[in-house]
Amino acid sequence: MPKPEYEFHEPTDQPWEPAGAPGFFQKILSKDSETGDYTRLARMEPGTDTSELGTFTHDFWEEVFIIRGSLTDLRLGCPALSDLFLHHLAELKQLERLALAGSSATDEGLKLLHGLTALRELDLTGTKVTAAGVEAFKKAVPKCMVLSGPAAK
């Protein structure tokens, strides 16, 4: 049975349940028992590290709305991710780690990220970014370690 469609949903009576890592909780709003697809609210306490859960990848876009706090680690290795999307990332001023490995990012798109001065690690492995683009980025964000080159096979 497909997951139920709720136009309005009031989950206040539903408890937060552990979601796999210390400080990470969720409320499942609806779930499709056949496919396992679900809609949830997720809550993370300050400093929560979900790296032990591994990287989650989807065949679709995930929508995230941060109510309070900041996103500091983002991994987006998606071939469909192009320069058109990178201007949205430029708004994430607290970002410390960003992985764009395997995306379609180019030198032009990377210029949009020159203002991310909190960035300490950027993975551009397997992207269309050239050595010149990497050097320009390193000049703009000198404290950031950049990983680049062809994708591992």
| pLDDT at 145 (0 to 100) | 96
pLDDT band at 63 (very low <50, low <70, confident <90, very high): confident
User: Average pLDDT in the 4-33 region?
Assistant: 84
What pLDDT sits at residue 141?
Answer: 97
pLDDT tens-place string over residues 112-141: 999 999 999 999 999 999 999 999 999 999
Q: Could you count the other beta carbons within 10 Å of the beta carbon of residue 30?
A: 14
Average pLDDT over residues 90-116: 93
Tokens of 86: 């990178």
Strand order in the sheet with 97-99: 73-75, 97-99, 121-123, 145-147
pLDDT value of position 108: 96
The pLDDT of 38-64, averaged and rounded, is 77
User: In the prediction, which pLDDT does 76 show?
Assistant: 81
Q: Is residue 152 predicted with pLDDT exceeding 60?
A: no
Query: How far is CA 105 from each of CA 24, 50, 96, 131, 151, rounded to the nearest angstrom?
Result: 31, 26, 18, 13, 13
Q: Are 120 and 97 in contact (CB under 8 A)?
A: yes
Token pair belonging to 153: 């096979």
Query: Maximum distance among all alpha carbons in the chain?
Result: 55
Lowest mean pLDDT among 6-10, 65-69, 96-100: 6-10
Average pLDDT over residues 135-151: 91
The secondary structure element, H or E, covering residue 133 is: helix 131-140
The reported pTM is 0.70
Domains in the chain with CATH codes? 13-49 (no CATH), 55-153 (3.80.10.10)
Ranges assigned E (strand) in the chain? 17-18, 24-31, 38-44, 73-75, 97-99, 121-123, 145-147
